Amino acid sequence: MRHVLVLVPLAIAALSLSACANGNNQVDEQLKAVNAVNGAELNDVMLTVADPNEAAVYFQRTSAENPDNIEFKRGLGVSLLRAGRASEASIAWANVIAHPDASSEDRVNYANALIRSGEWQKAADVLNTIPPTYETYDRYRLEAIVADSTKNWKRADSFYEIATGLTTQPANVLNNWGYSKLTRGSYKDAERLFNDSLTHDQSNFTVKNNLVLARAAQGVYTLPSVSMTQTERAELLHTMGLSAVKRGDVSIAKGIFREAVETHPQYFEAAVRSLEALENS
C-alpha cells in the first residue's frame, strides 16, 4: 500500500510537467488512467489481505458513490461473506444479480451466501436459474450441498463426483462428500472418501477427525495411518472414545480415554472429564 501511495503522486507530478507539450485534455485522460489503476489495486487489496469488516465498509461506501459499478457491489458481497455476515452478504449479492451485467458466476456466489445464511430453498431456486452449460467446480459443489439438504442422495453423489473432477484441489469437496456418506450411515464409503481427501491435504485435522469417526462407527478402534502431531493424536483418541461410548463399548472407551490423557503433551481436560464420567457411572 505504501508503494502505491508514493508512486501515484509522483506519476501525477510527471504528468503535470508534460501538460504544456501535450495539452490539458491529454493530461486529464492520463490522470484518469492512473486513478483507475490505483483503484483496481486498492480493490484487490481489500478483497485479499484487508480486514473483512474494513473491506465491507470500503465497498459499501464506494458502491454508494458509484451505484452503477457492479465491481463494487461484488466486492461488498465477497467482503461480507469473508466477515461471516452471511445474511448481509445474501442481500448484497441480490443487488449484484439485479444489475444488468450480472453473470452466472454472480448467481453462484448469491447461492453460496444463501446457503451460508440457511436459506436452502432460495439457494436451490437461484441455482436453477443458471444455464446447464455453465459448468464450474463451485456451481456443482453447491448443487451437491443443496441435494444433501433434501436427502436426494443420488443427485448429491452425482454432483459431488462432477465437482471433484473440475478441480485440481479436491480435498474439501471430498471431505464434504465423505461427511455426507457418514450422515447416511455409509461408513465404509465415508472412510474411503476421507482417505482420498487426506491424500490431497494431509494437514486438515477436521478430515482426520471425520476419518476416525467413520472407522469407529464400524467398530474399528485404532487410529488410521496418517501423519499427526502428539496433540492431534490425543484429540483423535478422544473422538474415538466418544464414538465407542455411543456404540455402547464402555470398557473400550475407558481404555481409549486413558490413552488420550497419557498421550497429550499437556493436561487434557476434556478426556479427563470423559474418563471420570464413565468411571463414576
Cα–Cα distance measured from residue 211 to residue 127, given in angstroms and rounded to the nearest whole number: 31
Q: Is residue 112 part of a domain?
A: no
Do 185 and 240 have their domain in common?
Answer: no
Do 254 and 232 have their domain in common?
Answer: yes
Cα–Cα distance measured from residue 229 to residue 94, given in angstroms and rounded to the nearest whole number: 44
Q: Is residue 86 part of a domain?
A: no
Of 20 and 205, more confident: 205
**Which tens digits make up the pLDDT trace of 231-279?**
999 999 999 999 999 999 999 999 999 999 999 999 999 999 999 999 9
Do 205 and 272 have their domain in common?
Answer: no
Do 206 and 234 have their domain in common?
Answer: no
Cα–Cα distance measured from residue 89 to residue 77, given in angstroms and rounded to the nearest whole number: 5
pTM of the model: 0.81
Q: Is residue 105 part of a domain?
A: no
Do 144 and 211 have their domain in common?
Answer: yes
- Domain span at residue 245 reads 228-281
The number of domains in the chain is 2
**Which tens digits make up the pLDDT trace of 56-94?**
999 999 999 999 999 999 999 999 999 999 999 999 999
Q: Is the pLDDT of residue 100 over 80?
A: yes
User: CB–CB of 278/245 below 8 Å?
Assistant: yes
For 142, other C-beta atoms within 10 Å of its C-beta total: 24
Q: Is residue 200 part of a domain?
A: yes
Cα–Cα distance measured from residue 200 to residue 206, given in angstroms and rounded to the nearest whole number: 14
Q: Is residue 2 part of a domain?
A: no
- Looking up residue 210, the CATH number of its domain turns out to be 1.25.40.10
pLDDT at residue 277 in the model: 95
Q: Is residue 52 part of a domain?
A: no
Q: Is residue 77 part of a domain?
A: no
pLDDT at residue 28 in the model: 47
Q: Is residue 180 part of a domain?
A: yes
Do 232 and 269 have their domain in common?
Answer: yes
Mean pLDDT of the chain: 89
